[in-house]
Chain A
Amino acid sequence: MRSGFELGNTVYKFVEDVTLLETDKCIVKVFKDSLVLPLTFGNVQGYFIHGKGRLVVDTIIETRKGAFGKPTDKELKEPFIAIGDVGEIKEKTAEAEPSSLTVLGYGDVKALREKAEEICREVLRKTTFRRDFEKEGKRVFYFLTEGDSYDVLVSKENGKLVYVSKGKVFVFSDKKSLFTGFGEIVVSKGDKTVIVANGNVFVEKGAT
């Protein structure tokens, strides 16, 4: 196993719906009967999760010219990895029976661990976020999508949010916001906003 992460040996399943992340801008939910395998990235706790869930991100920026972007609302069917403080989930899980693994296409625990290992390796190979895993209050999610690509969601306690999906980048914080997607680019910093939309460039100064 490559150094940098370590997988647990026991596979659990959620016994109730669990909200892993909820802020003003995003929600990550996992539904009952989804499988979860604990893992660690260095000193940081993480989970490999596979089952059913929901991802909602309000990838919308408000400007004086109007709102840009659309909310992202995805059903989570593919496996994903959650790293960082996603709350205490021990009380909401129980050891998974073999039948629970079979439902999701895993013959046994080994098969599930192999899948988890594959994704963890891919995450470490592709991402640069791993250096910041240990920062307090940071939660990082890697969602495997169709076509073996990844959506990445990073959330901090101070409200900062980064969401990268196919053709779409969204960065949100109190002072700075950025959105690219649907042929639009919006950058907002303090009281200044630059908008590139429909072949036009708008530069604004003043509160949104």
Chain B
Amino acid sequence: MSESEWRDEIKRLQEEIAALKEQLKIVKEKGERKRGRIYIDINHRIRDYVEDVMEGIFEGISSELEKSVLIGPRGVAIYRKKPRVVEKEIEGDPVEIASIMSALGNEHRIRILRELMRGGKYVSELQEKLPEITPSTLSSHLDLLQDAGLIVQEKVRGRYLITMPGRIAYRMAVKIHKMCRGRLE
């Protein structure tokens, strides 16, 4: 090999080395960029552990929500304090409560209350609105609702009117129905 050929060979090798150095520099830069990321291979045990923790947190949140938030058909009601009043209101003689509530336990009586929610009515008007109920059955339903204090009858004109407890009972029944139906669905 001549001297000029040696020089050409050295020059080519120097260029290769320069090229390799450049590539090495690029690789180093890429490596530094990747250094911020952490890749963890989650095996089953870690996944189960995380799921257990998350489940615990959700249970805690649900419990707190049940205590302080009522989600009803018309929206969300938030209690600032624990609803102690509700606990106080449910006190009472279970026999008497059951007696009054039993007045709601019939679809015809619910229909009667719904009609009276729209305004006072005579028996004839109720009969017209509720043709599926026979006159004698309608009369006994009205007596039962009146005995429970959910409706009252005018003595002079004979109209039936829904009372405040009657309105509350009807609304309560409708709300419970909506809430239960929502959960079942």
Contact = CB atoms under 8 A, between A and B. Distances in A.
Contact of A66 (B153, B155, B156, B162): B162
Contact of B156 (A27, A62, A63): A27
A25 interface: yes
A188 to B, nearest CB: 14
A70 B152 contact: yes
B164 A197 contact: yes
B59 to A, nearest CB: 37
Interface in B141-173: 152-157, 161-168
A71 B154 contact: yes
A62 B120 contact: yes
Contacts of A24: 156-157
A4 to B, nearest CB: 33
A25 B156 CA distance: 6
B22 to A, nearest CB: 85
A58 B165 contact: no
Interface residues of A, number: 22
Interface size range of chain B in the complex: 10 to 19
Nearest to A62: B161
Contacts of B155: 27, 56-58, 71-73
Nearest to A198: B164
A190 B155 CA distance: 25
B154 A66 contact: no
A187 interface: no
Interface in A52-78: 56-58, 60, 62-63, 65-73
A60 B161 contact: yes
Among A27, A63, A67, A197, which residue has the most Cβ atoms of chain B within 10 A? Answer: A67
A60 B162 contact: no
A202 to B, nearest CB: 9
Contacts of A15: none
Contacts of B165: 66
Contacts of A68: 163-164
Given A65-B167, A66-B167, A56 B161 contact: no
A67 B156 contact: no
A154 interface: no
Contacts of A69: 152
Interface in A137-152: none
A109 interface: no
A58 B164 contact: no
A71 B157 contact: no
Given A62-B120, A197-B164, A67 B157 contact: no
Contact of B163 (A26, A66, A72, A73): A66
Interface string A121-137: 00000000000000000
Nearest to A202: B164
A65 B163 CA distance: 8
Among B156, B163, B168, which residue has the most Cβ atoms of chain A within 10 A? Answer: B156
Interface string A35-64: 000000000000000000000111010110
Interface string A102-124: 00000000000000000000000
B168 to A, nearest CB: 8
Given A67-B162, A71-B153, 10 more contacts: A60-B152, A60-B154, A66-B161, A66-B163, A67-B120, A67-B152, A67-B161, A67-B163, A69-B152, A71-B155
19 contacts: A24-B157, A25-B156, A27-B156, A56-B155, A58-B154, A58-B157, A60-B152, A60-B154, A65-B164, A66-B163, A66-B164, A66-B166, A66-B168, A67-B152, A67-B162, A67-B164, A68-B164, A71-B152, A73-B155
